[in-house]
Amino acid sequence: MKNLFDLTGKTAVAVGGNGVLGSAMANGLADQGAQVAIVGRNLETAEKVAQEIVERGGVAKAFQADVVSKESLENVAKEIEAWSGGWDILLNAPGTNSPTPFFDIPEEEWDHIMDVNLKGIVLTTQVFAKRMIEQKRTGSIINISSVSSTTPLSKVFTYSVSKAGINSMTQFLAREFAPHGIRVNAIIPGFFPAEQNRKILSEDRIASIMGHTPMNRFGEPEELGGTVVWLASDRASSFVTGALIRVDGGFGSMTI
């Protein structure tokens, strides 16, 4: 069973791997033997994550790219290919949020959130999946969605819409890429407090979240590691594609 999750010899591209959740998942992939390209808009934070992986005995390198620029993504893909020869795993984990009420959402904010959370993943997948197909590499694409994608949460309208788009994209591309041996799945995390969502976590909101989470606690970023490794492994999850996997402490199963 241990060998089912061995990623030795695999290369993972972790886009948004410099974030709180992205870095935890990148570390999980590295712990199982994958070499990981940490891609972030902020090179300094990407380098910090890469260094952490190296210090833990893994192999990683930081790269800089803007997910809303296809040119930037194509350039970084060339850099990663020169470093690794190619990739087998694509982790799409960029994200941004805002608590602006619906009627007050400025057009620029809508565009920014949709660009980063949805357009960015579309562009990233276009660039990296196309190269996988050209190289005839089978593998796994893992998108990061949200509990708000299926049960829209108050105060995060644009974010919820963008993440619902990720679910649709995941299932669409699972069908499109299956003939190429590329699986496409999404993880739906519950509440893992990070900088982007702390601003909307008032005491009342925390109480509401706990009341709707059977496990009665927030998730720890490292708790996403097992799921991402499972989805990345072409042995452990070889017949899994188009799936939306909840890691939410039971939030999605709660009813009144």
Check if the beta carbon of residue 145 is closer than 8 Å to that of residue 188.
Answer: yes
Query: Comparing 117-126, 131-140, 146-155, which segment has the lowest mean pLDDT?
Result: 146-155
Q: Are 38 and 76 in contact (CB under 8 A)?
A: no
Higher pLDDT, 92 or 249: 92
More confident residue, 252 or 43: 43
Answer yes or no: is pLDDT of 51 > 70: yes
* Two tokens, residue 132: 């996988």
CA distance 13 to 140: 11
Res 189: pLDDT: 94
State the DSSP H helix or E strand holding residue 60, giving kind and residue range, or none if neither: strand 60-64
The predicted structure's pLDDT at residue 54? 98
The torsion angles phi and psi of 201, rounded to 5 degrees, stand at: -100, 75
Per-residue pLDDT at 78: 98
Q: Where are the domains of the chain?
A: 2-246
| Catalytic site positions | 159
Which CATH number is correct for 2-246, 3.40.50.10490, 3.30.9.10, 3.40.50.300, 3.40.50.720? 3.40.50.720
pLDDT exceeds cutoff 60 at 172: yes
Full-model pTM = 0.94
Range 9-33 average pLDDT? 97
- Each residue's pLDDT tens digit, 63-97: 999 999 999 999 999 999 999 999 999 999 999 98
pLDDT (mean) for 44-69 = 98
The string of DSSP codes covering 115-134 is IIIIIHHHHHHHHHHHHHHH
Give the residue, 211 or 199, on which the prediction is more confident. Answer: 211
Is 36 a residue whose pLDDT tops 80?
A: yes
What is the C-alpha separation between 45 and 30, in angstroms, rounded?
A: 17
What's the mean pLDDT in 126-150? Answer: 97
